[in-house]
Amino acid sequence: MYIQDRMAHLLYYEDEGVNCNYEKGQYSMITLTYNEVSRALIIGDRQGEYPGVLKNRVFNVVVDKNNPKPF
């Protein structure tokens, strides 16, 4: 994760995890961006694919308004 201009960016990467097919471009990535000013989390579209990739990815976002912590 990196933070720039009150924006936090995270790249979620996944592949099969059992071989080197990522070297052949068989992996996927999803960009997550948090805008501190608007308090918005933007989950981007998946880029790439690999055999067995989940067709739908679910992210559970938990916000602790009573005890916020910095990254």
What ranges do the domains of the chain cover? 1-71
Whether 24 contacts 36, CB under 8 Å: no
To the question of domain 1-71 being in CATH 2.60.40.1180, the answer is yes
1 Cα distance to chain centroid: 9
d(CA 44, CA 34): 11
Burial class (CB in 10 A: 0-12, 13-18, 19+), 28: middle
Which residue's structure tokens are 């720039």?
Answer: 4
pLDDT tens digits, the chain, 71 residues: what are they? 556 678 888 999 999 999 999 999 999 999 999 988 888 999 999 999 999 999 999 999 887 777 766 65
